[in-house]
Structure 1
Amino acid sequence: MPLHGFGTNPGDLDAFLFAPAHLPQNAPLVVVLHGCTQTASAYDQGSGWSALADRFGFAVLFPQQRRANNPNLCFNWFSPADTRAGAGETESIRQMACTVIERHALDPARVFVTGLSAGGAMTSAMLATCPDLFAGGAIIAGLPFGVAKSVPEAFDRMRGHGYDSAGLSALVRDAAPSPVRWPSVSIWQGTADTTVAPANAAMLVEQWRAIHGVDLPDQSQSGDRHRYRGWHDSTGRLVLEEYLIPGLGHGTPITSAGPEAFGVPAPYMLEAGISSTYRIAASWEIVPAVAPARPESAASDATPAAAPARHGEAHGFDPGRSINAALRAAGLLRP
């Protein structure tokens, strides 16, 4: 349902809320940020966040960009005016979250944020500018905070160029007063992504590894479907993790089979044999660590008929080509 009256809304964004019919008090809140050319509802349907929330009892907030702010519906992660503490789009999203927490008696210690692509980059901005608000964040095919201040710089960083790894952590530390505890960060990246280069995942790891003061990963797994690394701090808390998905292009990894099958393949929602939606929620401890078997009716409703799509293609869709076409139409990219 639409969310109204959530504050001054300096970033001029829309907002939608999903809350299960029997939402318990002190339930968690997940803020979900769509990618370029997407809407909140399309991203929700593909990723399955509302379906997951309905089953396990938490609320989901969906900020949505307006075309007047960005012709491609991208969150303006590269605009200093929209990524400062207390200003622009980051402040609008903070106001939405605080309003929902108060109205629905949610747990302020269990607020999380995730997003894809431009939404992933804006997730970085939310974690940097509002670190006291979020217990954790998940960045999917996104970019580090503060690395671009214009459209040309944004394209350069998306290609993995122009980085100064030595200054990455300072960009976060200087964005807002240091919190009592920094949020945990989960990073997801396809190795065949030609829209946001995999080098950005490596830079995200460097940015947040330095913030959390961790060095080498103390947990790792490698298989056909993903390569995983995890970092725990001195208290044993998982503060940083990275999932690399071999052969996956630009999009959110989902699976259309098994107990983790929340969401459906669609543009930017890519069959990967692993559900980023479920794994992220599990790392935040708001769903069971191992997905329980789903009721027969729910499982059949959630399993799409479409054949699995690999290497960044879903239903014949090329995400990189679509983004470039949209940017050219808006005059932001030369032919």
Structure 2
Amino acid sequence: MPLPPRPGAPVAPGARPRARLLPRLLAVLAVVLGTVLAGPAPRADAAVTLTRVNDFGSNPGALTMYVYRPATLPVRPPVVVALHGCTQNAQVYADNSGLPRLADQDGFLLVFAETGTANNANKCFNWFQSGDNRRGQGEALSVRQMVSHAVTAYGADPGRVHVTGLSAGGAMTAVMLATYPDVFAAGAIVAGLPYDCTKDNSPYTCMNPGVDRSPADWARRVRDAHPSYTGPWPRTAIWYGDRDTTVVPRNATELRDQWTALHGLSQTPTRTRAIGPDATRQDQYLAADGTVAVEVDQVPGIGHGTPVDPGTGGEQCGGTGAPYFLDSICSSRWIARFFGLDTTDPGDPGPGDPDPGDPGTAACWTASNYAHVQAGRATVGGGYTYAVGSGQNMGLYNTFVTHTLKESPTGYYTLADSGCP
């Protein structure tokens, strides 16, 4: 939950002073915290062992670096940087996000960045502060220095560096993608906000009700973060709960506008499918080469938090041992898949591509093309209907053409007119 710092909060040694806000924000902050954190006691989970790194650079943002290194790593492993939400820390995020288990399975190095009360009274990353959300300074530079250390100290692959985070950590993920597009290949923003929303708005306004700007305006704010950059933009996944009242769903729409515009894509998805046990809606925006450049995942029935699915199944991960971890879908598994890191699935063809090897239960659906589209089993393009997942042409989009679609795995459809077991 991204909230402003307490006025007069102490400054960590070596850090520059933080911007001070009006004292009346204290009352607002207390009300919001009391509302959001109220609820049943969380279930405890086993702690993940993290290694603290004390010397990774000048650290102008006064952050703390932790590393989770699987027992077995490939040569030049990929890196995933993980950024916790407000009131959390690196240990809580490691214990409940499911990322360490996936790092063990898929062979990537995990870097957990942590902020504390010396930076922000609620342990939020300062995504809204110009001193922290600009290239070459503050917290953004500290995270970048952690990546440099991971590459040199652990022999990681600088071309396969990714970042993800929740809430304030999700907003900070957007900061990292915008300020260091030359460092990060892809990112996943969970319950976060578009980059530089607070350029002309308060953090609270950005969170709820959100700010509506044109895709071109949002994209310009990212370009302004690194004006000399001419390379490809990071691929971006956006996750949110459709009942989030803390960082409202409008922010996911504005994030989509920001990153599709940067990639030169339409704001209409190329294809849509349902994934996971809760039928999460996944909209994908494909680049000219067929790669998924932007992805938006709408998780039904949940509020503000990281979607997890506790259990030992191949598509399960995470725990509900702390606030803001919500039992629904293993978002970390799908994020690793989006990053192209999923090695447990022999059918996974590569980063951002359809995932026909994903395990699931087969089902058959016979209906008109119109009904298939309305149910999310197919999409429309140029007046024609295409099966979600396989992309097979099903003919004209109308109520007269009827097909049988086989769903296997969940959310991946193929034509099965000749018979479907």
Q: Structure 1: which amino acid aligns with 2:327? A: E
The alignment partner of 1:82 has SS state of coil
Query: Which residue among 192, 199, 213 is the counterpart of 1:164?
Result: 213
Distance 2:186 2:241 in 1: 21
1:255 CA drift (Å): 1.0
Equivalent residue pairs, number: 291
Once structures 1 and 2 are overlaid, which stretch shifts more, 26-35 or 213-222? 213-222
Q: Cα–Cα, structure 1 residues 11 and 213, in superposed 2: closer, same or farther, change >3 Å?
A: same
Distance 2:230 2:108 in 1: 25
Q: Does 1:279 align with 2:334?
A: yes
1:225 CA drift (Å): 2.4
Q: Does 1:70 align with 2:128?
A: no
TM-score (norm 2): 0.67
Q: Would you say the 8 A contact 1:25–1:104 is kept in 2?
A: no
Q: Would you say the 8 A contact 1:17–1:62 is kept in 2?
A: yes
Which consecutive residues of structure 1, in runs of 5 or more, have no partner in the other structure?
Answer: 294-335
- 1:200 matched residue in structure 2: 251
Q: Deviation string for 1:39-95 (max 9, x for gaps)?
A: 111011111111110122110000000210001000000000101100000000000
Name which one, 1 or 2, has greater alpha-carbon Rg: 2
The alignment partner of 2:103 has SS state of helix
Q: Does 1:219 align with 2:283?
A: no
Q: Would you say the 8 A contact 1:157–1:163 is kept in 2?
A: no
Q: Cα–Cα, structure 1 residues 162 and 20, in superposed 2: closer, same or farther, change >3 Å?
A: closer
Q: Deviation string for 1:117-171 (max 9, x for gaps)?
A: 0000000000000001000000000000000148x71100100334323511100
Distance 2:246 2:107 in 1: 34
Of all paired residues, the percent bearing the same amino acid is 43
Distance 2:210 2:190 in 1: 19
Q: Deviation string for 1:214-262 (max 9, x for gaps)?
A: 1132110147521110011111121000000111110011112431222
- 2:204 matched residue in structure 1: 155
- 1:305 matched residue in structure 2: none
Q: Structure 1: which amino acid aligns with 2:247? A: V
The alignment partner of 1:2 has SS state of strand
The alignment partner of 2:202 has SS state of helix
1:28 CA drift (Å): 0.4
**Which runs of at least 4 in structure 1 moved beyond 2 Å after TM superposition?**
160-166, 222-225, 288-293
Q: Deviation string for 1:158-202 (max 9, x for gaps)?
A: 003343235111000110132421100000010000110000000
Q: Cα–Cα, structure 1 residues 100 and 179, in superposed 2: closer, same or farther, change >3 Å?
A: farther
Q: Would you say the 8 A contact 2:194–2:251 is kept in 1?
A: yes
The alignment partner of 2:157 has SS state of coil
- 2:308 matched residue in structure 1: 254
1:292 CA drift (Å): 7.1
Q: Would you say the 8 A contact 2:84–2:93 is kept in 1?
A: yes
Query: Which residue among 177, 182, 199 is the counterpart of 2:233?
Result: 182
- 1:243 matched residue in structure 2: 297
- 2:130 matched residue in structure 1: 80
Distance 1:23 1:104 in 2: 10
Q: Cα–Cα, structure 1 residues 51 and 158, in superposed 2: closer, same or farther, change >3 Å?
A: same
Distance 1:90 1:55 in 2: 29
Distance 1:283 1:23 in 2: 20
Distance 2:296 2:156 in 1: 28
Q: Would you say the 8 A contact 1:82–1:90 is kept in 2?
A: yes
Q: Structure 2: which amino acid aligns with 1:279? A: W
Q: Would you say the 8 A contact 2:307–2:327 is kept in 1?
A: yes
Q: Would you say the 8 A contact 1:160–1:198 is kept in 2?
A: no
- 1:327 matched residue in structure 2: none
Q: Would you say the 8 A contact 1:132–1:179 is kept in 2?
A: no
The alignment partner of 2:110 has SS state of strand
Distance 2:76 2:57 in 1: 22
The alignment partner of 1:80 has SS state of coil
The alignment partner of 1:169 has SS state of helix
Q: Structure 2: which amino acid aligns with 1:229? A: D
**1:32-71 equivalence runs, <5 A:** 32-71=82-121
Q: Would you say the 8 A contact 1:23–1:57 is kept in 2?
A: yes
Q: Deviation string for 1:267-325 (max 9, x for gaps)?
A: 111011x21100010111111345679xxxxxxxxxxxxxxxxxxxxxxxxxxxxxxxx
Q: Report the structure, 1 or 2, having the larger strand content.
A: 2
Distance 2:69 2:358 in 1: 21
Distance 1:26 1:220 in 2: 34
Q: Report the structure, 1 or 2, having the larger helix content.
A: 1
Distance 1:160 1:108 in 2: 38
Distance 2:185 2:230 in 1: 11
- 1:29 matched residue in structure 2: 79
**1:83-94 equivalence runs, <5 A:** 83-94=133-144
Q: Would you say the 8 A contact 2:210–2:248 is kept in 1?
A: no
